[in-house]
Amino acid sequence: MSYKRILTIQDISCVGQCSLTVALPVLSSCGVETSILPSAVLSTHTGGFEGYTFRDLTDDMMPIADHWQKENISFDTVYSGYLGSARQINYVLDITKRLLKEDGYSIVDPAMADNGKLYHGFDLAFVEEMKKLVFASDICLPNITEACFLTATEYKENYDEKYTDSLLEKMAAAGAKTIVLTGVSYDDTTTGVLILEKGIKSYYRHRKIDRKYHGTGDIYSSAFTGALNRDKSVYESAKIAADFVVKCIDNTIDDDSHWYGVKFEPILYQLGKEVLR
């Protein structure tokens, strides 16, 4: 197996166990070299903290990429997460085109919406730009809400298999190649991941924990990307990532003081063992 190098592009929330502070250790634990391109630096994430600092790094992104190109640095995977502006989206498209190896993966977590709503600061114009990135990628990892925005579909809290199949069909028709739709729940006790790969649909179901934590989507996308770059299949990678997120929540749920993220670090070795075996 070749030694893979991944580039992940997203923000740094210095405290809060999300974005790059999650992606770097999770990917590294999977045995792949991880390079980072920060899009912004925040003192904390924005969910529940007040008065956080924010430094936009948009103007630094292309000079960094230019330097890498001059040094003949390329990547087996370019994986993007939260991006703060349409300009950053277009930069990721350009960086992927220039620095991704010919046989590499472009992986996009849209990271722009949940629970039927866009995140603060995003609008429909941002969604239109995100469509360009998602539908140009090799693999996209939207949740139900993001898939609805990407396909102009009415969001429903309660849905059936026909509804999710329609989301997959619309995304594929718009150009999405491999789709990993997260948070797909058809009942009160289970949830799962719905995959469309080369026209074939599969679903991995696991138990549902009635508790939400910041950063679990970032952990999922990073674990998926790490497993995929260790030659696991898309389905295997989706399953490994989902199971690890469940373990992370289980490891945190009894600690009410740890509300801002999940305690993934003490069990990170379990992900490594699963991916590397």
222-238 pLDDT, tens digit each: 999 999 999 999 999 99
Residues 6+ apart with CB under 8 A from 216: 245, 248, 249, 262
Residue-level pLDDT at 2: 81
With a cut of 90, say whether residue 210 has pLDDT above it.
no
Q: Between the CA atoms of 185, 190, 196 and 201, what dihedral angle is there, to the nearest 10 degrees?
A: -110
What is the structure's pLDDT at 120?
Answer: 86
pLDDT band of 121, cuts 50, 70, 90: confident
Average pLDDT of span 212-228? 97
Residues paired with 204 in a beta bridge: 193
| Token output for 198 | 């080369």
**pTM: predicted TM-score of the whole model, two decimal places:** 0.97
Question: How does pLDDT run across 13-68, given as a tens digit for each residue?
Answer: 999 999 999 999 999 999 999 999 999 999 999 989 999 999 999 999 999 999 99
User: Is a pLDDT exceeding 90 seen at residue 162?
Assistant: yes
115-132 average pLDDT score: 95
pLDDT exceeds 90 at position 178? yes
CATH number for 5-276 (one of 3.40.50.880, 3.40.50.1000, 3.40.50.300, 3.40.1190.20): it is 3.40.1190.20
